[in-house]
Amino acid sequence: KEPSGSLSADSIKIKKEVANAFVKRKKRSSPYEWYFEYYKSPMEQMHERCENYPPCDYLSDQVGFALAYNRFFG
């Protein structure tokens, strides 16, 4: 808590993995939506791989995703 007694924004943040555990997603209705729910594009898979590796995620904020991904996984 901050000296004034209020919560700061940093104290209420949670990790992505924890948030995904209790946030319920809307049910998909069409087969097209189901397909994209289960089969991610290669680019999206690459983004998730980089986001889940902290050095890559940090570097992607500095120099861009493509350079950061190639640096660690390229």
What pLDDT, in 10s, does the model give residues 21-70? 666 666 667 777 777 777 888 999 999 999 999 999 999 999 999 999 99
CA 6, CA 74: separation in Å to the nearest integer? 45
- Under the banding of pLDDT at 50, 70 and 90, the label for residue 13 is confident
Helix (H, G, I), strand (E, B) or coil at 26: coil
Residue from 45, 69, 74 nearest 59 by CA: 69
- Packing angle, helices 42-51 and 65-73, rounded to 10: 80
**pTM assigned to the model:** 0.51
Contact 46, 68 (CB under 8 A): no
